Structure 1
Amino acid sequence: MGFLKTLVTWVFVLAFIVAAGLVAGWAWLNNEMTKPGPLAQEVIFTVSDGETLTSVAARLEDDGIIADRQVLLTKSRIEAQMGGEQPHVKTGEYIIEPHISVAGVMSILIEGRSVLHRITLPEGRTTAQLLRVIEADEILEGEMPEVLPEEGSLLPDTYMYHRGMTRTQLIEKAQKAQADLLAELWPERQEGIPVTTPYEAVILASIVERETGIAAERDEIAALFTTRLKKGMRLQSDPTIIYGISKGEPLYNKQGQRRTLYRSEIDRHTDWNTYQIDGLPITPICNPGREAIAAVLNPPETEYIFFVADGKGGHLFAKTLAEHNRNVAAYRAFERKEIERERQGE
């Protein structure tokens, strides 16, 4: 009986010692996890696709970001045993601040709070031109897709992305953004507008986008083109002629200088030349932005049916052909003065 009592006492003693050891070990581990680390200055740390927590922990120690990889790995093993799942680090590029704790590092890498990069796809560019922007980006990864997106299917915008995103994924992101925008705006379109599908809206918006770089003019030009279509008039948009000739690339003369359209090009029939065809071209002529698409879906009322450049970046609008001819004459006079000034070296 005395032996059994002694055995029970020793069991309790050993259990107490083990429990005390576990408590002390847990307290030590938490202290090691939260105390400031050895990193002296901010660094960028990159986790590549497929890397494991073990390999990342080794690099963190080798780079002097944490003092002991085993602290991180032990903590992760305990959390896995308690929660049933091993923590995973996420691919990305991370800013690591000086003297960050092991817990801080784990939080950043597991939550995936990586550095964001940006790429701007400007409005009014053709798909080929936007693809050149994407291809030239030095941070995006991977080759360009074999099947290229259709003209007008990308939404121009500034896109934020993490290191590791591929060029194909960025293209898909821009395509989805346009699809989402059309799904948002199309149901709210104005009744009676002369476009019957979202694709036709993109075609008309692409012409509006190429006709002006001034945001304040988009609604007026969208309204003017809407009025012309309702009246059965041709759009007569110069950018549509250019697209039919060069797919939207600038036109140059034999001396390599930018040039305007030749009369023969205006008279040439293509599937895009709105001087020669009724209605809309068969495809968009560029990738229009949100504002241009919104403008053609809800244009204001206007009596204007003509417009011409004013030589200062904007346009002169007219309700009648006679008024339009006067605006054209004024623009031609402005052009002649500018040419004369250039000749005189002013």
Structure 2
Amino acid sequence: MNCCTSYYDRKRKNRLDGKTVAITGATDGIGLATALECAHRGAHLILLSRNQEKMERAKKMIEQEVNDSEIDLVKLDLSDVDSVKNAAKNLIKGGFRINILVLNAGLAHYKPELLYGINSGSDLKIQFSSLILSKIFKVINHFSHFLLLHLLLDHLVGSESEPARVVALSSEAHTLANGSGKFWQKYASEEIATKELGTGSDISGAYAESKLANILHMKSMAEHHPHINFVSVHPGVVNTSFADKWKSGIENKCYLCFVRTLSFSWKPCIKTPYQGCQTSIYCICSKDIVQGQYYSDNKPKRIRIRGSKDLNLIKNQLYELSMDFVQSCMNK
């Protein structure tokens, strides 16, 4: 048993019967563990993923463990805004009454096939430019989820006693962010971007800023839409391929050494996906969650960033940028 895990309601007394839970990135890792646990509690599941084969496999696995589970599959590719719009459209046209939306999917590394039409050439070991790096992380880890939630807001179902909920996965990696906004800006040229962002070979900065964005996204939504419960969570250090892929993208040798040292010290506390989903399940089920909070180990956790920039200022700036992104997508 992991000494660093706070388990939530292991006897499953808090049920989700009659509720629909939609989860992005629910085909493996924490997302799949979250989906399975929700199915055990009686929820109707909607799995959203870009990989149809993996969705079918996840559905079959859940059905084998939970005989009477009800599961629908909807294709969603967060690297393609048209796919995000189509997913929202299909959910609305399908008449799904979503009570809980879990924004679980995220990216910790990059691949040439995620370049949104930018020609990367045939070499899979290509050094990605600063513009591409910035675009990948801000679109997949934040903007696309912001767009999806924006399109579904009026179709989330709750009541005065049990409001609809949105749970966004973040990470303690947000503590490496400083909220400068440099990864969110538009640059006139590759040369200017390189001057501001560096070579683009180190993913840690962009990833950290995207995880801060996940937290601030939920805080902004809590302010703008108080009739829905919005929270963000840190799952802990979980034994999935996600962390290894993140470390594989770090080329700064000093920082990589630091991360590997931390990883070794964390080893006794590394969680399984089931352990890692506990805070998500807490935020999905508990009646005690606080609107806009960031949670870890089933408890509120303080947000910490580098430097002294005001979090409210960062939050408001990011919200305006995100709304501009939504507007540009809707005008296409």
* TM-score for the superposition, normalised by structure 1: 0.22
Length-normalised TM-score, structure 2: 0.23
Q: Structure with the greater relative contact order (CA < 8 A, sep ≥ 6): 1 or 2?
A: 2
